[in-house]
Amino acid sequence: MMEHPMTKTLIEKYGETRLPRYTSYPTAPVFSPKVGPTECAEWINAVPSEESTSLYLHIPFCRSMCWYCGCHTTISERDQPILDYLDVLQREIASVGEARQDKLNVGEIHFGGGTPTIVKPEEFIALMGVLSSNFAIGPAARIAVEIDPRTLTVEMAEALGQTGVTRASLGVQSFDPVVQKAINRIQSEETTAATVGSLRANGINAINFDLIYGLPFQDVRSCIDTVERAIKMRPDRFAVFGYAHVPGFKKHQRLIDENALAGAYERNQQAEAISETLVSAGYKQIGLDHFALPEDDLATASINGRLHRNFQGYTTDECRALIGFGASSIGRFAQGYVQNEVPLGLYARRIADGGLATAKGYALTSEDRLRADVIERLMCDFGADLEQIAASHGFDPTLLWDGNTRLAELIDDGVATLEAGKLLVSERSRFMIRAVASAFDAYFENAGRGFSKAA
Ligand code: SF4
């Protein structure tokens, strides 16, 4: 592996900073109860009929806890809590559907978790039926499901194929047995390969693998070995994340041996090694942490400047409105963001009371929209025409750089350049993109404490 040209000092300086992943702007810690069910209902009703909408459904259950997990999930060995939850979820979908005079056109559906495929095949088919009764889901709709290969049955793969699922995102993380033991997630290479085979046999050919670096006992060799084994299964995409160790927020992460975690520089080496191995195998790097085969639409969108960022990471999804269903789900509208209650009991009670389950949210100002645009372009393109973006929002561009000490420091450190109103992050500084984005985050100083390290 080539030595990263950036100095160790710089990596440690920015890599140790806790930074958001900027899957939204403003980020979720800024949301407040000032925005609730009333705003959510208004915003759903204001979605133009002719626009295509995205849906997100959260299934917050798993059979066992992976100690690195950062998701909203509950461990349940019993099926009844899951069945009860599905009842509530279906009522929520129906109440949103009934609130509209027309059926909204749906372009994208994403099932996330937790483990969405923890439900039985007939339950998944029924859930898709409820969605179809309440929304216009055309044959071109893209439907993605997050999958835990350890629990996917052949019958469930058949149900996914039958209901028109187009993309499967598989949690793989690491094939290293020492790492797997340290994170309480034992998943053989054979299990992953069998899942890929089963999905492809049912017509689901768009496959994504999630990998993680910075896990306990991981090193560069272990990362390369995992990637080399994963490449043999030829998924279309990889999403490669750094492990976010936040035991103050996720108590089960205390089970992870902190002494076995790599520092910022070593994490950077792992990320670089994974990237180089994937690029050598023909994958294109997309944004900060995704990789795709050249013919994949994510790669095409990246070349054409049409890449976007949403709560799932990089996406080709161009829908302006995203409606979230289920506990903790986040929705996005032209007017702002909404998030459902996180605790399952509170979520269920809100729906049982006949309302929406919105707990908090955020109403966007025109300056937020400008900053959101700048941050999205930076995260997707590693550069942004600040003058052009500011003009398109009716702002003076100097608002973005005058007195911006964080930006000045990044420019001084050689991470970014600003010339003729265009900000450019150099190839060697891609790793620092979250730090650059944070220079345009008006809420960063107040919101930064709970985020993961950048490296
Ligand atoms: S399967 Fe995914 S959501 Fe469930 S505990 Fe493991 S990492 Fe978390």
What pLDDT, on the 0 to 100 scale, is given for residue 248? 92
What pLDDT, on the 0 to 100 scale, is given for residue 6? 54
Q: How many domains does one find in the chain? A: 2
Token reading at 174? 């690491």
Taking the CB of residue 88, how many other CB atoms lie within 10 A of it?
Answer: 20
Pocket-testing residue among 64, 67, 115, 328, ligand 1, by greatest number of atoms within 8 A of Cβ: 115
Say how many Å lie between the CA of residue 363 and the centre of ligand 1.
31
* Pocket lined around ligand 1, Cβ cut-off 6 Å: 62, 65-66, 69, 71, 73, 113-115, 148, 171
Pocket-testing residue among 66, 68, 212, 312, ligand 1, by greatest number of atoms within 8 A of Cβ: 66
Residues facing residue 332 across a β-bridge: 322, 337
What pLDDT, on the 0 to 100 scale, is given for residue 447? 46
Residue 417: which CATH number? 1.10.10.920
- Judge if 275 and 383 occupy the same domain: no
What pLDDT, on the 0 to 100 scale, is given for residue 1? 43
- Residue indicated by tokens 């645009």: 373
Say how many Å lie between the CA of residue 253 and the centre of ligand 1.
12
287, 380 contact by CB (below 8 A): yes
Q: What is the dihedral of CA 309, 314, 317, 320, to 10 degrees?
A: -10
Q: Of 325, 350, 379, which residue constitutes the final position of a domain?
A: 325
Cα gap 407→409, rounded to integer Å:
5
Q: Residue of the nearest CA to atom 7 in ligand 1? A: 69
Cα gap 441→259, rounded to integer Å:
33
Q: Residue of the nearest CA to atom 3 in ligand 1? A: 114
Say how many Å lie between the CA of residue 267 and the centre of ligand 1.
22
Nearest to 422 by CA among 441, 445, 400, 442: 400
64, 184 contact by CB (below 8 A): yes
Say how many Å lie between the CA of residue 442 and the centre of ligand 1.
32
- Judge if 171 and 310 occupy the same domain: yes
Say how many Å lie between the CA of residue 76 and the centre of ligand 1.
12
In a domain, 147, yes or no: yes
What pLDDT, on the 0 to 100 scale, is given for residue 230? 98
What pLDDT, on the 0 to 100 scale, is given for residue 448? 44
- Judge if 392 and 300 occupy the same domain: no
In a domain, 334, yes or no: no
In a domain, 347, yes or no: no
- Judge if 318 and 375 occupy the same domain: no
Q: Residue of the nearest CA to atom 8 in ligand 1? A: 69
Say how many Å lie between the CA of residue 114 and the centre of ligand 1.
5
- Judge if 18 and 51 occupy the same domain: no
- Judge if 179 and 219 occupy the same domain: yes
Range of the domain at 36: 27-325
What is this structure's pTM?
0.93
In a domain, 259, yes or no: yes
Q: 141-153 burial, b for 16+ CB within 10 Å, e for fewer?
A: bbbbbbbbbbebe
Mean pLDDT by 10 residues, the chain (455 residues): 57 72 93 96 94 96 96 95 98 92 94 96 98 94 97 97 98 98 97 98 98 98 98 97 92 95 92 96 94 95 91 88 97 97 97 96 97 96 96 97 93 94 90 92 67 52
- Identify the burial level of 13 via C-beta atoms within 10 angstroms of its C-beta, where 0-12 means exposed, 13-18 middle and 19 or more buried: middle
How far from 160 is each of 18, 128, 207, CA to CA, in Å? 38, 10, 13
| Entry field: residues in the chain | 455
Atom of ligand 1 nearest to the CA of 70: 8
What pLDDT, on the 0 to 100 scale, is given for residue 453? 55
Token reading at 355? 């309302």
- Judge if 157 and 265 occupy the same domain: yes
Atom of ligand 1 nearest to the CA of 148: 1
Q: Of 276, 309, 325, which residue constitutes the final position of a domain?
A: 325
- Judge if 50 and 8 occupy the same domain: no
Say how many Å lie between the CA of residue 67 and the centre of ligand 1.
8
- Judge if 133 and 221 occupy the same domain: yes
Atom of ligand 1 nearest to the CA of 114: 3
In a domain, 352, yes or no: no
Say how many Å lie between the CA of residue 65 and the centre of ligand 1.
6
Q: Residue of the nearest CA to atom 6 in ligand 1? A: 66
Say how many Å lie between the CA of residue 96 and the centre of ligand 1.
28
In a domain, 69, yes or no: yes
What pLDDT, on the 0 to 100 scale, is given for residue 15? 64
Atom of ligand 1 nearest to the CA of 64: 5
- Judge if 141 and 288 occupy the same domain: yes
- Judge if 6 and 41 occupy the same domain: no
- Judge if 122 and 221 occupy the same domain: yes
Nearest to 370 by CA among 447, 434, 442, 451: 442
**3 state SS for the chain:** CCCCCCCHHHHHHHHCCECCCCCCCCCHHHCECCCCHHHHHHHHHCCCCCCEEEEEEEECEECCCCCCCCCCCEECCCCHHHHHHHHHHHHHHHHHHHHCCCCCEEEEEEEEECCHHHCCHHHHHHHHHHHHHHCEEEEEEEEEEEECCCCCCHHHHHHHHHCCCCEEEEEEECCCHHHHHHHCCCCCHHHHHHHHHHHHHCCCCEEEEEEEECCCCCCHHHHHHHHHHHHCCCCCEEEEEECCCCCCCCHHHHHCCHHHCCCHHHHHHHHHHHHHHHHHCCCEEECCCEEECCCCHHHHHHHCCCCEEECCEEECCCCCEEEEECCCCEEEECCEEEEECCCHHHHHHHHHCCCCCEEEEEECCHHHHHHHHHHHHHHHHCEEEHHHHHHHCCCCCHHHHCCCHHHHHHHHCCCEEEECCEEEECHHHHHHHHHHHHCCCCCHHHHHHHCCECC
Pocket-testing residue among 58, 63, 65, ligand 1, by greatest number of atoms within 8 A of Cβ: 65
Pocket-testing residue among 75, 148, 150, ligand 1, by greatest number of atoms within 8 A of Cβ: 148
Say how many Å lie between the CA of residue 148 and the centre of ligand 1.
8
216, 257 contact by CB (below 8 A): yes
Longest dimension (CA), the chain: 61
Pocket-testing residue among 73, 74, 152, ligand 1, by greatest number of atoms within 8 A of Cβ: 73
116, 145 contact by CB (below 8 A): yes
Residue 67: which CATH number? 3.80.30.20
Q: Of 325, 341, 375, which residue constitutes the final position of a domain?
A: 325
Q: Which long-range contacts (CB under 8 A, 24 or more apart) does 397-402 make?
A: 397/421, 399/367, 399/370, 400/370, 400/374, 400/440
In a domain, 341, yes or no: no
Cα gap 252→68, rounded to integer Å:
8
